[in-house]
Amino acid sequence: EAQVTQNPRYLITVTGKKLTVTCSQNMNHEYMSWYRQDPGLGLRQIYYSMNVEVTDKGDVPEGYKVSRKEKRNFPLILESPSPNQTSLYFCASSLDRWGEGNEQFFGPGTRLTVL
């Protein structure tokens, strides 16, 4: 089944404790992206990747890191989480450059709480 998976689905952590949210897609998609969703703010792009070893900042990259060592995986790293990073996070992938007939496939989401 074609899908985007994220782990963990739920995470409660404390300020400053490094964490990684994994994202994997099995569709051989080139483009991958991380979003955070907050009430009233919609989906905001954190980082995106156009291919292996190619990543770039989205609109809200502060406090986050990503890597794209393999095509299928795009982990999101919070080196020192803070309470303002409490949010719902979505990973997404698309076959090619988004907005050109290429829908984004979203993962199920990771609800992160930073105390």
| Interface of this chain with another protein, residues 7 to 46, rule: CB under 8 A | 33, 35, 40-45
Residue 103 engages another protein in binding (rule: CB under 8 A)? yes
Rounded least distance, CB 115 to another protein, Å: 23
Cβ-based nearer residue to another protein, 85 or 94: 94
Residue 74 engages another protein in binding (rule: CB under 8 A)? no
**Measured between alpha carbons, how far is 44 from 46 in angstroms, rounded to an integer?**
6
Binding to another protein by CB under 8 A, coded x per residue (else -) over 50-69, reads x-----x-xx----------
**Measured between alpha carbons, how far is 20 from 64 in angstroms, rounded to an integer?**
10
**Rounded to whole angstroms, what are the CA distances from 28 to 13, 69, 85, 101, 113?**
32, 14, 30, 17, 31
- Point out which residues bind another protein (CB under 8 A): 33, 35, 40-45, 48, 50, 56, 58-59, 90, 92, 97-101, 103-109
